[in-house]
Structure 1
Amino acid sequence: MIKNYFLATALAVAFANCGVLHAQDDLIKKISSNKTEGKAGFTFTRIIDLASTPIENQGSSGTCWSYSANSFLESEMIKAGKKPLPLAKIFTARCSYMDKADNFVRMNGAVSWGDGGEPHDVINMYAKYGILPEANYTGLINGATKNNFGAMQKSLKGMLDSIIKNPNGALDLSWKKHFADTLDAYLGTVPPMFTYDGKQYTPKSFAKEVVGLNPDDYVEFISQTNTPYWQKAMMMVPDNWAFQWDWNIPATAFTEIIDNALKKGYTVAWGADVSEPYFSWPNGVAFVPEHPEQYKKGVTLEQKKALFNGPKPEPAITPEMRQQALEDLLTTDDHGMHIVGLAKDQNGKEYYLVKNSWGASNDYKGYLYVSKAYVQYKTTGLLVNKKGVPKSVASKIAL
């Protein structure tokens, strides 16, 4: 028997934007229940398996960017010789919502709103507000065990829409307090002081004294042909509410950077499109079939059965091919994950070992194996420690 793979149309709708996803955990349970057999066709051997913290579940929230990039920082701490420590992902998200709300009001609502963000938001929030251990701020109240942000985001968006209408003819300057109070009601109040290993900290002092990472040590990359390579350009995706500019590089440099970083012991925060039928969360495998254009309108049952019954040849990813997928919105900014290692399949082809934030419900207990061609084709952005960037790339951007 071969697995009954989930419908591509369901994936496309569910993962169209990580920032507006609120029923993600329920969908993943439904998708995973379609399986009829495990791990058919693939045998992976890990070559590099860098240290990371345990798999987590973002629940019904579009906070993949915070889970993945904070997981990345957790591995950075381990790399620096510090004790493994889960960081407060929802504290980062909460800080981001406050700053995003400020942008929304200043732009009179002419920007997107939702749960979503980018890896650089984690770095920016860490630099500005600090961080807490996850044990000291989970964002879960009233006995909740998983995030469920649907009602909260509806309330926040309604409040913001009302604020920008200026019903009294002038902006009510107390709106930020009311906005923060609403976050408190849904996520709990952030402790101004907390105890860790017998010592009192604020989020800022904890970031400085315990986490000890330098926000300036990190660099983000994108790849597009409509702006020059080796120069900075705007990351043109709705969740880039901070209007960040990143280094634009050829897609082949993505894998050069990841390979070099992993070999030096550095992990990578990865943003990508996951809406393709050849990205399978239940199977824990993603690759690019020889003719990906055949899957633009979905897949037949027989095609679904054949996709993951073993390794397949992949096409060379050209800049034109990648850009066309961006222009056609076949490559969209869906999901943030964490690249923590390298593996080979039974034919010797290399895949990246990717840590996800959807719990441990798939074949590889929360991890995926993603081919290098998929990374070159479907990546929207990479965040990495500067020390992990190869000289061939660093020399071209004066890093």
Structure 2
Amino acid sequence: MRKLATLVALLTTLSLHAQDSYQFTTVIDLEATPIISQGRTGTCWSFSASSFIESEIIRLTGKMINLSEMYTVRQTYMDKAENYVMRQGLANFSEGGLAHDVLNSIKANGLVPNEAYNGLDEGSNYHNHAEMVAVLESMVKTYADNPGEKLSKKWRPAVSAVLDVYLGKAPETFAYEGKTYTPQSFLKMTQINPDDYVSITSFNHADFYSSFILNIPDNFSNGSFYNLPLDEFIRTLDNSLENGYSVEFDCDVSEPTFSAKHGLAIIPEDAQNNKVALEGLYPELAVSQQFRQDEFENFTTTDDHLMHIMGLVNDQKGNKYYKVKNSWGNNSDRIGNDGFINMSESYMRLKTISITVHKDAIPKDIAKKLGLK
């Protein structure tokens, strides 16, 4: 009898596990270009924001264009070097950046297709910036230390020359689909207006419905963010997707419940379920504004990685997840994910630092509060 009871319990457990395995149904799936890998670089900000802009080009023109991430990276490194050297080393110089850095570069330098500038070594199909970054860091530190006691004007062309060696010289003109463009004329063809996009966050150390400079390490360019209460932040995100606008976002991916392998990001209510919740449904944490703030201020939530939100899915119990396009290649072992992440609303509420959206995607009442209407 004891053996029979044990067998029944085991079969019941197996049945429940099978019943609770994730089953996703697509709700919204916006058009996006294929997933590619950022390689051994810290340039997720350019890959994700470029993907976001590519989807915007599809929405605006119907054209699917593979943009050059490295054109933006090359231009932005000059801005980073300028910031670091002229602040005499009292600034951040790293591979990281944010979505507004891509928009700033687009406004100043235009856009280039990947076929005109891929930033790869000849014969390579994989980005590896380890050596280049080490060289650049050494250079800008030397210039900031000013060993000659009078900084010469040679440092800017020297940094630019190193970028040319590793990434290639940025093109002034190029051919695309039988036409000749400059980066600015190509930008005009895409119909992208960088001023149409805004970044939004949700933290209670700043006034809501105002804009402020978010103090995170990768915000080297001191970009401003509009600040919304958490519920309105999520409503803005959902409204964007529901109206055909994809979303760029910055988040923390250091949690054990963020798994590229499983194509899943969740925040279980009970942390003891962190591991098993990657395989089956468990209740998730209700995230408040204050808990989000506390996790940010104690550095449990940090700005690790930028990605591109391009849809919504539901699990079999009706719970909402955001379909996220990653830039780590097609490395998921879960059939149908192919490098995408299904991120729960709990994870989004807790671990997202900011989003970037087209200003027309913001609900009208919220836009009015922000002074955008």
Alpha-carbon offset, residue 52 of structure 1: 0.4
Is 1:140 matched with 2:120?
yes
TM-aligned CA distance change 1:216 to 1:238, over 3 Å: same
The runs of 5 or more residues in structure 2 that have no matched partner are: 1-19
Decide whether the 8 Å contact of 1:41 with 1:308 is kept in 2.
Answer: no
CA-to-aligned-CA distance 1:159-217 (integer Å, 9 cap, x gap)? 10111122222111111111011001111122221001211111122112x21211111
Equivalent residue in structure 2 for 1:336, among 301, 306, 330: 306
* Cα distance in 2 for residues equivalent to 1:82 and 1:190: 27
Alpha-carbon offset, residue 316 of structure 1: 1.9
Q: Give the residue type in structure 2 aligned to 1:376.
A: R
1:245-260 aligned within 5 A: 245-260=224-239
* Cα distance in 2 for residues equivalent to 1:76 and 1:275: 29
Alpha-carbon offset, residue 345 of structure 1: 0.5
Query: Which position in structure 1 is the counterpart of 2:204?
Result: 225
Decide whether the 8 Å contact of 2:89 with 2:145 is kept in 1.
Answer: no
* Cα distance in 2 for residues equivalent to 1:327 and 1:177: 40
* Cα distance in 2 for residues equivalent to 1:122 and 1:138: 16
Larger radius of gyration: 2
Is 1:239 matched with 2:235?
no
Query: Which position in structure 2 is the counterpart of 1:398?
Result: 371
* Cα distance in 2 for residues equivalent to 1:279 and 1:240: 23
CA-to-aligned-CA distance 1:346-396 (integer Å, 9 cap, x gap)? 111110111010001112101110011111111111000011101231121
CA-to-aligned-CA distance 1:109-160 (integer Å, 9 cap, x gap)? 1111111100111111000000100111110013221110110000001110
* Cα distance in 2 for residues equivalent to 1:312 and 1:396: 37
* Cα distance in 1 for residues equivalent to 2:356 and 2:206: 19
1:310-325 aligned within 5 A: 310-325=280-295
Q: Give the residue type in structure 1 aligned to 2:146.
A: N
Query: Secondary structure of the equivalent of 1:80?
Result: helix
Query: Secondary structure of the equivalent of 1:342?
Result: strand
* Cα distance in 2 for residues equivalent to 1:90 and 1:157: 18
Query: Which position in structure 2 is the counterpart of 1:327?
Result: 297
Query: Secondary structure of the equivalent of 1:160?
Result: helix
Is 1:280 matched with 2:259?
yes
Decide whether the 8 Å contact of 1:166 with 1:172 is kept in 2.
Answer: no
Query: Which position in structure 2 is the counterpart of 1:47?
Result: 27
Decide whether the 8 Å contact of 1:254 with 1:375 is kept in 2.
Answer: no
Q: Give the residue type in structure 2 aligned to 1:233.
A: F
Aligned length: 350
Query: Which position in structure 2 is the counterpart of 1:368?
Result: 341
Equivalent residue in structure 1 for 2:60, among 63, 80, 104: 80
Is 1:105 matched with 2:85?
yes
Query: Secondary structure of the equivalent of 1:103?
Result: helix
Q: Give the residue type in structure 2 aligned to 1:357.
A: S
Alpha-carbon offset, residue 305 of structure 1: 4.0
Alpha-carbon offset, residue 225 of structure 1: 1.2
Query: Which position in structure 2 is the counterpart of 1:380?
Result: 353
* Cα distance in 1 for residues equivalent to 2:301 and 2:236: 21
* Cα distance in 2 for residues equivalent to 1:285 and 1:93: 29
Query: Which position in structure 2 is the counterpart of 1:90?
Result: 70
Query: Secondary structure of the equivalent of 2:310?
Result: strand
* Cα distance in 1 for residues equivalent to 2:143 and 2:245: 44
Is 1:389 matched with 2:362?
yes
Q: Give the residue type in structure 1 aligned to 2:217.
A: P
Query: Which position in structure 2 is the counterpart of 1:199?
Result: 179
CA-to-aligned-CA distance 1:41-88 (integer Å, 9 cap, x gap)? 211111100000010100000111111111000000111123100100
Is 1:215 matched with 2:183?
no
Decide whether the 8 Å contact of 1:63 with 1:93 is kept in 2.
Answer: yes
RMSD over aligned Cα atoms: 1.3
Higher relative contact order (CA 8 A, sep 6+): 1
* TM-score, length-scaled by structure 2: 0.91
Equivalent residue in structure 1 for 2:244, among 261, 265, 268: 265
Q: Give the residue type in structure 2 aligned to 1:283.
A: H
Alpha-carbon offset, residue 304 of structure 1: 5.3
Query: Secondary structure of the equivalent of 1:225?
Result: coil
Equivalent residue in structure 1 for 2:134, among 154, 177, 180: 154
Query: Secondary structure of the equivalent of 1:135?
Result: coil
Decide whether the 8 Å contact of 2:328 with 2:339 is kept in 1.
Answer: yes
Equivalent residue in structure 2 for 1:354, among 324, 342, 348: 324
* Cα distance in 1 for residues equivalent to 2:221 and 2:139: 21
Equivalent residue in structure 2 for 1:66, among 19, 42, 46: 46
Decide whether the 8 Å contact of 1:222 with 1:381 is kept in 2.
Answer: yes
Query: Which position in structure 1 is the counterpart of 2:7?
Result: none
The runs of 5 or more residues in structure 1 that have no matched partner are: 1-39, 295-302
Which range moved further: 60-69 or 252-261?
Answer: 252-261
* Cα distance in 2 for residues equivalent to 1:305 and 1:286: 12
* Cα distance in 2 for residues equivalent to 1:79 and 1:101: 35
Decide whether the 8 Å contact of 1:251 with 1:377 is kept in 2.
Answer: no
Decide whether the 8 Å contact of 1:44 with 1:344 is kept in 2.
Answer: yes
